[in-house]
Amino acid sequence: MIVGGKHYRSVWLEGGTVFMLNQSVLPHRFEIFESPDHQRTTRALSNFIVRGAGVVGTAAGFALAQAVLEAPEKEFDSYIATAVDELLKLAVSPHTVAYSVERIYRKVKKAADPPAAKKAAVAEALALAEADIKACLKIGELGATLISDGIRVLIHGSGGWLSSTDWGTSLSPVYQAKRAGKNAFVWVGEGRPGFQGARLIAWELKQEDIPFALIADAAAGFFMSRGETDLVIVGCERIARNGDILARIGTYDKAVLAKTNKVPFYVATPLKNLDPHCSSGRHFPIVERSEDEVAKITGRDEVNALHTVTVLPEGVTARNPHHDVTPAKYVTGYITEKGILTLDKFKALKPEGAA
């Protein structure tokens, strides 16, 4: 994507250093986070320097490549195994983290010696990053066929280009449609409690000069019921074999509202998010994150100073499930790199290299 006239990826590896666009300070500051070693990269993922299944998976792969590059020859195997264990314990996007880490680790273990292992780890990490970009670009090209000039699209979650290595998932069709000369209007849900819609998606759309309006998450049904929404596109964290999706909290609400109001509801996702070992969404683990995301809000004052304030009464607790499960019956279709699939076609699919 273009920021200030320059192309950036959300994360990249250069000379053993991982670079990430720091989502934690957007939209107030544009900052590139530099991580010279795998431990700092792993901590950055835990601290949400980047968010989104695609970008986290790529960054985790880069972290493992760093660990292989750092590993001392006398402790080569144990050093790498420890890094693998630390990455697989991350609670952030565990499916895509495992997807990247396990593939790179297999390449390392097959290598003849440490120099070959280092070369293999970097090559596989870079290949996985390129595959994510290629998949998201294809999702955009295919998804753009659903977008006509003047269409009104509702986006929920953080499926913009920051959520992937590049291009994103749910917004990639909008970006490709614009490049094809079609103008879409985007309803952007605020993305409580982390405000990813207000902080990240709104910032992205402003960079792309795409018309949009930020709305409260609870207002989505209002605009659907008034006939002011033509299409809903969401991304997801993981897909079960029966087509159920694990996605940003509030996705289930939007799916039910879309079905009720006869608005097409599409899931934009690379097929690496398919978990062939999970039969249905009932088996997805639901992670609850810190209640601080619900209890506190950070913003700028009139002199651009940042402040964090508490919005709950003292002594009140909060619950913060990060994802919910949307049953396949609410999904109109799946926008993937292999095509826009109905549920029947999705179930029949045998994705190459599925985790």
- In the numeric block, which tokens belong to residue 236? 């997801």
Residue whose C-alpha is closest to residue 282's, from 242, 329, 317: 242
> What domains does the chain contain, in order, with CATH numbers?
2-137 (1.20.120.420), 146-348 (3.40.50.10470)
* pLDDT tens column, 44-53: 999 999 999 9
Q: Which residues contact 153 (CB under 8 A, 6 or more apart)?
A: 147, 174, 184, 185, 186, 187, 229, 230, 231, 232, 233
Q: Is 237 helix (H, G, I), strand (E, B) or coil?
A: coil
Return the pLDDT at 57: 96
Predicted local confidence at residue 198, as pLDDT: 94
Tens of pLDDT, residue by residue over 257-307, are 999 999 999 999 999 999 988 999 999 988 888 899 898 888 888 888 888
Query: Which pLDDT value is given to residue 355?
Result: 39
User: For residue 327, how far is the Cα from the chain centroid?
Assistant: 20
pTM for the model stands at 0.94
pLDDT-based confidence at 254, cuts 50/70/90?
Answer: very high
Cβ(336)–Cβ(139) below 8 Å: yes
